[in-house]
Structure 1
Amino acid sequence: MHDEFIDVHEELSNAPVGPMHVKLGILLALLTLFDGYDTFNPAYVIHYVRGPWSLSLQQAGMLVSSGLVGFLLGAAVHGTIADRCGRRVTLLAGLWITTIFSVLTAVAGHSFAAFCTLRVLTGLGLGVLLPLSTTYINELAPRRIANTFALWGVALGWAAGGAAAGIVGVFVTPRTGWQGLYWVGSLSFLLIPFVHRYLPESPKFVLLRGRDEQVKAILSKLRPDRAAAYRDRRVARHADMARTPVLALLTTPYRRQSIAICAASFFSLFCIFGLSGWIPTLMQARGETFAASFAFGALMQVMSFVGGLVCGHLVDRSNCPRQWLGVWWTVGGFSVLALVFFHTHWTNLALSAAAGFCIIGGQFVLNNFTAASYETQMRATAVGMELAVGRLGAILGPFIGGALQQAFGGSNLMLTAIAVAAAGAAACVMFATKSKTDHEPRRDSADEPMAGVARG
């Protein structure tokens, strides 16, 4: 009897990586490329506006943090919307918002207040792209390579976008001013028709809505070798979740896990944005050239993808995500702390690369770990809340970094605070398990179909 039904979760988890997987991975990578690009732009804007706008170091930190306020709001609310209305339409809305306000920032962001306001509004769109792309790709990823596939599809785009911001900062802004960063960012409008045309709804979300024929159509594109078998079989129905998803994150099976994941994300993003927001300014203060100091930020983003890919591969092979994340953030913390004591060009280069490899790379894997730890009904909400809480740390990182530099006349205490936060992330993630009455979280562990129940 079981063979009469289509187990959607097993079909997706055991699928070979085919052309449709590759196409969707590229599309999501392009989406997150614009997210990563826009997120790190303000670090390069500081160089141009701090003097003309008479900004203190604290205000310069707020310049970086302003977009993260909007990201926090977007990440916090989009999950509930995506879990009710669908992944596809929510991603499209986020892309439209990001594109429109990137243009408006270039046109009208000519004062500290105007720039920060427009960055908050842009962040509402950015708060959708990364977390929801992470949710989407984790609902498609074959189980045996879940982290590796998600990293190639999402983390690569985000890291490439962050690196592109550095390249544009070095080669374009000397000719266009800081506004060039946002004119380039507004090229995201070219992606909108492709997302509209080629991005299907998540099959797991469609399954929850009982649209069986649409489920079969999507599965047939992902696994064309099994298309004929799908036509003659019914789709197994999964139990609906009666609880409110946001509140469900804090119920007994998930409370400890949710708190630990959100705390780890808070400390991790405090490190990432505290360091990325100030690294070009810090390196210029250490005697690096304008181009070289901007290149440090790009280097961190490139190495972050490599670090995430290595960590994700180790997680896929060992099924020990918490342990590897703890190692990654601990090593990253030591790398940042070493910047306090070593100031030569090559040590700056090596330690910045190591910080990107470990700290930012670890965050990519944490996002995937979060998505794999919750059921389909609450997955987008869980990833959104993880990144929303994390963005509190991201907001505080550049702001506190500027305040510490202003108060103590140097960067050493700021770097020490970032190193301590990395250790905090490593400690918190070790507690990210479900209650002892449940099993260690694994991909779709609670997404098993109701035996013998199907939709005709």
Structure 2
Amino acid sequence: PAAAEKKAPADRWNALVNLFRGGEWTQTLLYWLASFGGLLLVYGVATWLPTLMRSEGYELGSALTFVVLFNLGGIVGMLVAGRAADRFGAPRISSIWFALTAAGVFLLSVHMPVAVTFTVVFLTGVFLNSAQTMIYATVSIRSTPDNRATAVGWTSGMGRFGAVFGPWLGGQLLAAGNGDWGFTAFAIAGLSSMVFIGIAALRGSRQTPQSSTRQELITSG
């Protein structure tokens, strides 16, 4: 037991190092960057949505309703994204969802009729929350069984820096009187995550056949 405890830290370190061996380091960093932008977007919008909507001229009651609709959309989004990922693949859904999220967040910077804004907020919630979850699903799919837990854990952990930075960024913009730029900044984060997860997915799909062949050779040997 004592020997096993001494090996545990080394095993954890080796698992992390494996994420950067060969050409894996670029894909690992792309996943981390996508997760950073995704959680920046999730927590930034969730934290400052009522205040940002007030700055756009909406009444307090409507601004609070936006929060409820946003979270309801998140519930629906998880159910829809899961079914869509089963059919089209988590990497593709994550990338498309981030693009739709960025479009929805940017539209919120435009003052529209309340009914239309309610719809946009709900749909943005549908895509935003599940887009981030699909990053974890993508990492899980693209990782080897022995490295899967480490890859997902570190991707989630790196994303937490974005979870801190997003609310801070929104607060800084509002404090400087640049609330109009809040939605634009969050939309850019969504587009960035779309690009990062898209590139990582393409690289992963190209590497998968090689990995499968190599695994078959090892098994047959």
- 1:355 and 1:447, CA in 2 relative to 1: closer, same or farther beyond 3 A? farther
Given that residues 373 and 441 in structure 1 are in contact (C-alpha distance below 8 angstroms), is that contact kept between their aligned partners in structure 2? Answer: no
Query: Aligned in 2, Cα 1:304/1:451: closer, same or farther, shift over 3 Å?
Result: same
Q: Which structure exhibits the higher relative contact order, with contacts defined as CA atoms closer than 8 Å and separated by 6 or more residues?
A: 2
What's the CA shift for 1:327?
1.5
Unaligned runs of 5+ in 2: none
Structure 1 counterpart of 2:68:
298
- Identify unmatched segments of 5+ residues in structure 1: 1-80, 86-240
Which residue of the other structure, out of 358, 381, 385, is the alignment partner of 2:150? Answer: 381
Q: Is the 8 A contact 2:73 2:125 kept in 1?
A: yes
Give aligned pairs, total: 210
- Cα distance in 1 for partners of 2:185, 2:74 equals 20
| 8 Å contact kept, 1:434–1:441 | no
RMSD in angstroms over aligned alpha carbons?
Answer: 3.2
d(CA) in 1 for partners of 2:50, 2:13: 46
Q: Give the C-alpha shift of residue 361 in structure 1.
A: 1.5
Structure 2 residue 115 is the aligned partner of structure 1 residue 346: yes
How much has 1:436 moved relative to structure 2?
4.5
2:24 corresponds to which of 251, 254, 257: 254
SS at match of 2:204: coil
Could you give the per-residue CA deviations for residues 37-90 of structure 1, whole angstroms, max 9, x where no partner exists?
xxxxxxxxxxxxxxxxxxxxxxxxxxxxxxxxxxxxxxxxxxxx9xx59xxxxx
1:412 aligns with 2:187: no
Cα deviation digits, residues 334-368 of structure 1 (max 9, x gap): 11111111243223322211211112111111112
**Shift in Å at residue 376 of structure 1?**
3.2
Query: 1:358 and 2:130 equivalent?
Result: no
Answer whether contact 2:34 2:193 (CA < 8 A) is retained.
yes
Deviations 1:352-394 (A, max 9, x none): 1121111211111111222222233322221111111111111
Query: Are the counterparts in 2 of residues 256 and 434 from structure 1 also a CA contact under 8 Å?
Result: no
Please say which of residues 345-354 and 271-280 is displaced more in the overlay.
345-354
Asked if the contact 2:74/2:130 (under 8 Å) is kept, the reply is yes
Distance (Å, rounded) in 2 between the aligned partners of 1:352 and 1:381: 34
Separation of aligned partners in 1, 2:124 and 2:66: 11
Q: Is the contact between residue 281 and residue 293 of structure 1 (CA under 8 Å) also seen in structure 2? A: yes
Change (3 A) 1:385 1:441: farther
* Structure 2 counterpart of 1:431: 199
Letter in 2 for 1:332: T
CA–CA distance in structure 2, aligned partners of residues 447 and 244 of structure 1: 20
Between the aligned residues of both structures, percent identity stands at 24
Checking the alignment, whether the CA contact within 8 Å between 2:74 and 2:128 is kept in structure 1 is yes
Cα shift at 1:451: 5.2
Name whichever structure is richer in helix by fraction: 2
Cα contact 1:253–1:435 (8 A) shared by 2: no
What does residue 39 of structure 2 align with?
269
Which amino acid is the alignment partner of residue 279 of structure 1?
Answer: L
Q: Distance in 1 between matches of 2:24 and 2:184?
A: 33
Higher gyration radius (CA): 1
The structure-2 alpha-carbon separation of the partners of 1:434 and 1:255, relative to structure 1 and needing over 3 Å to count, comes to farther
Secondary structure of 2:39 counterpart: helix
Offset, 1:312: 2.6
Q: 1:424 Cα deviation (Å)?
A: 0.7
Partners of 1:446 and 1:242 in 2: CA distance: 24
* TM-score for both structures, normalised by structure 2: 0.80
Cα distance change on mapping 1:273 and 1:403 into 2, 3 Å? same
Tell whether the 8 Å contact from 1:265 to 1:389 is kept in structure 2 after alignment: yes
In structure 2, relative to structure 1, the CA distance for the partners of 1:416 and 1:322 (3 Å cut) is same
Distance 1:315 1:294 in 2: 31
Give the aligned residue type for 1:367: Y
2:95 touches 2:197 (CA, 8 Å); kept in 1? yes
> Structure 1 residues 341, 248: closer, same or farther in 2, change over 3 A?
same
- Say if 1:254 and 1:435, in contact at 8 Å, map to a contact too: no
